[in-house]
Chain A
Amino acid sequence: MAAITEALDLGQLDRSLAQRVSPGRWEKILSCIQCGTCSASCPAAHAMDISPRQMWRMVQLGMTEEVLRSKSIWLCSLCYTCHVRCPRGIPLTETIVRLKELAMERGIVSSPQSEAFYRAFAEVMRRYGRLREVEFMARYFLASNPLAALGFARLGLTMLARGKIRPELPRLGGEGRLDRLFARVAELEEKR
């Protein structure tokens, strides 16, 4: 990032991103003092392309595309460490979840594995009302990277042997346990 030489005039910022991902409490995001506590606390910061501190500045600046396309949001494991430590009390972790939602909605998820993970999980949840772990894993690996499944094959066999997982055939067609509730939520959110 280029060095910032002038003081930011917070009155002039593009607030659309902050307003979108933190409805009702977006002013809080503008109160970030760039202290870096979030970055220093984050167990995944070392693997991120934009550090949490930088990301919050970019949210303030309304840099929507750059933030949504970052790897960082998909590296957040929801540990809530930054959330409880932020001296300005910004609800950081939950705002990252909203950033993930927005990236999914706009179809600009930089991590195909994460997208496959969320979609496979949601699909199994909608069908059966509860997660069927084996079917979820199968769907996830098929959609993300079937070869990566090999890396899990040995673990899968051990789990079968210990009775930790049971072979379950995907019941294609499903039961549609939560179909109606999911549809109702989409209707209320005026999506799709």
Chain B
Amino acid sequence: MKVLADGDGQDLIALERRSSSLRSAKSAASYAVLVLFTIISVGPALYIISPAFRDSKSLFSYPPQWLPSEFFLGNFQFLLTQTNYVRWAMNTLIFATGVTLIALVIDTLAGYAFARMQFPLKKTLFGLILATLMVPTAAVLAPTYLLVRFLDDWTFGLVGIDTFPGLILPMTVSPLGVFMMRQFIETLPPGLYEAARIDGASEWRIFTRIVLPLMKPAIVVLGIFVFMLQWANLLWPLVATTKDETRVLTVGISTLQGQFVTNWGVIAAATLMTLVPITVVFLFFQKWFVQASVAGALKQ
């Protein structure tokens, strides 16, 4: 509107032309920036392929060798025969899946209670739990470690250092999960819940038959969120495991450093072997992953 008042038709057309060429230049520039950051994001991880298929000695050669001159499989061979890589990978799967499944169960149940049930001190209790929303493992590392060690005696070795329950259970407590689930259940129309009550359903039946089926998206999102957090977890597994029987990938790979005068080719191979499956899964379920990560923060 203002533009119209400013000048006559000729100017206007010229302006339009100039601004449209400006716009296309701008969009090309923004495209270039985005492409640059795409390369920065993906490039480093892609480069790992090269050292993974090279003998470690060639890594330090000068002039640098960018691509493998031969398809060297020694790193992988070493990884599979001289280390417990397979065991670590299995353990990671057990650990991350275990935490995810337990967290999903307890979080959805508690989320339902906080969203839909009435009980005394509900607000106070929820406030307390909320205050512990982001307590880092590091801040309670010593007492948690001590606790698990004590539990070893009290539970006759069932929960303890170097056991899966001892590794998994302390990580299942995530107030954030309860919070997300409560938020989600609160967005479901309360009428559904009330209709089911009128229809005679118990809380358990309402939960399993009405609420749970409608929560699928939230459950997938929370599941991915928890799994991603735990599969990358280093600090707790580092403290809670001392043997390869329960050691997970993050810890295992960090033991490769130094243990064998740092065989870089092997580290590259281990990293690559770990990244390939998760990348494939990611590419299949990218929408959910993206949603999961943002949901964690945006769902408040």
Is this pair of chains taken from one and the same complex? Answer: no
Seen from chain B, the residues whose Cβ lies within 8 Å of a Cβ on chain A are none
